[in-house]
Chains A and B, each alone.
Chain A
Amino acid sequence: MVKVEFLGPIGKSPIEVEASTLAELAEILKKDPEVAVWLEQSAVAVNDRMVESLEVKLDSGDRVSLLPPVCGG
């Protein structure tokens, strides 16, 4: 199982899903309307490393974070 956490204003509790790549995870998240609206504008980290490819492999116990648009200061 992969843990998915939704940071900042997404305001959704973490979920656990079966996915072996980010591409598979994307398909799962697109089906959740509460999350789908954030996907276009969110960056992605796997185990606290920013990633930029859907080919990234996921192992059981990995943690994926969705980071919506930021504004510090």
Chain B
Amino acid sequence: MVLVYDGPIDVESLLSRWYTAEHNSNYGAMVTFVGTVREENGIEALSFDIYRPLLEKWFKGWKDRLEKEGALLAMAHSEGDVPVHTSSFACAIFSPKRRVALEMLDAFVEDFKANAPIWKYDVIDGKRIYAAERSTPMAGSGLLAKG
């Protein structure tokens, strides 16, 4: 299950929790990625909407794929406003040896950017502006424009 935070992720406690839960499970590698909001273009925060039913399906697909490699996947994401210099996304992959975790992390984050049902907004002067130019149409987009 994806851990959804209302606002910024408490990174310190989350990473500690993930480590504590699995360090006795005989995984030789724990690889983490944490995404932190950068101060740029005058934003005070990023803001996110999530469609949870499809996020869970997408995540389960990845979890199952990693399980076949003997690896374990964990993920957290924020909903609502996340101020600059706080974090909105975190994931961890545990694997018996480092190679699987390092390679799968890159593939997972790339697909996350393209196909996880999450929408991003810049927050400027308290207003939420959809980050249209940084967003990617999901696979199969445009179906209803056909015909």
Contacts and interface: CB of A to CB of B under 8 A. Distances in A.
Tell whether A and B belong to one assembly. Answer: yes
Given A8-B51, A9-B119, A48-B53, A72 B113 contact: yes
B119 A42 contact: no
Interface residues of B, number: 38
A45 B54 contact: yes
Question: DSSP majority for the B interface?
Answer: mixed
B137 interface: yes
Contacts, number: 119
B126 interface: no
B57 interface: yes
B143 interface: yes
Contact of B113 (A40, A53, A71): A71
A8 B49 contact: yes
Interface in B76-128: 77, 88-89, 109, 112-121
B20 to A, nearest CB: 25
A14 B144 CA distance: 17
Interface of B: 35, 48-49, 51, 53-54, 57, 77, 88-89, 109, 112-121, 130-132, 134-147
